[in-house]
Amino acid sequence: MRTLKNILATGLFLLVLSPIVRPEPGLTINNDHFDFGLIPRNTTLMTGFWLNSTGDDTLKITKIKTGCSCVLAPLDRHEIAPGDSLYLQLTWELKNRVSKVGKYPYIYTNAQEDPFRVYMDGIVMRHPDSALVAFSRPYILELARVGEKLIDSLEFEIINKFEHDLMAEVTSPAPLNCDLILPEILPAFGNAKCYIKIKPGFTEEEFKTSFTLRLSDPESTTFTVPVRYRIIGGGNK
């Protein structure tokens, strides 16, 4: 009898000493750095990061500090259930400067006291055609509705200044409002035709976006092509 009592007492004692495990939120950001590479001046850049709720309690995004009004980070919700993800889209308005640039927004959550960070950087060029490997012509893709005339598609070129054929990979999220067609090969010392077209349903409002390409040269040259759609005459919604 004493033995049974001792066993029960020992078990109760260990239960009291055992720590209470409470659910905790957690955040993981895969690929938290984005390189825009070579960038034209006076452009709008877009990229994004997936915020993954990796804890066992609801993750709450309490605040995002971008450092200036030139970076926008809207969220359609501020809570992420365990195992779910939320896409953080960032829009970066670049001014008329020529230099290395970078923005590193802070993401405050209930997962930890210190904020998480994501990183965006690139090099703004005065003359993108001076790039050593390749560039887009035109540097900025302009689409528009002028009165009743809709210019919703555009042919552009990637100029390969390199001595070998290259391939181009889109490293940014695909533009939400446009379809992009790129050739499989950019011929050495040649021009490759490319196409962009606004998707159905996206011609009623102006927008700015961009896409970023990484080339297969030894340096993995990266450059960004901004895209603008304007409505001229007749007003815009």
Residue range 27-125 in CATH 2.60.40.10: yes
Question: Which residues of the chain are in CATH 2.60.40.10 domains?
Answer: 27-125, 128-232
The Cα-based distances of 196 to 38, 41, 54, 154, 192 in angstroms read 20, 21, 37, 5, 13
pLDDT tens-digit series, residues 93-152: 998 878 899 999 999 999 999 999 999 999 999 999 999 999 999 999 999 999 999 999
Residue 12: pLDDT band with limits 50, 70, 90: low
pLDDT tens-digit series, residues 184-217: 999 999 999 999 999 999 999 999 999 999 999 9
Report residue 149 as tokens.
């005339």
Helix (H, G, I), strand (E, B) or coil at 121: strand
Answer whether 205's CB lies under 8 Å from 224's CB.
no
pLDDT exceeds cutoff 60 at 1? no
Distance from chain centroid for Cα 146: 30
pLDDT tens-digit series, residues 13-43: 555 555 667 889 999 998 999 999 999 999 9
Report residue 47 as tokens.
């990229």
Please give the Cα distance from 233 to 70 (Å, whole number): 27
User: Could you tell me the pTM of the whole model?
Assistant: 0.85
Please give the Cα distance from 9 to 106 (Å, whole number): 51
Q: What is the pLDDT of residue 11?
A: 59
Q: What is the pLDDT of residue 6?
A: 62
CATH topology of domain 128-232: Immunoglobulin-like (2.60.40)
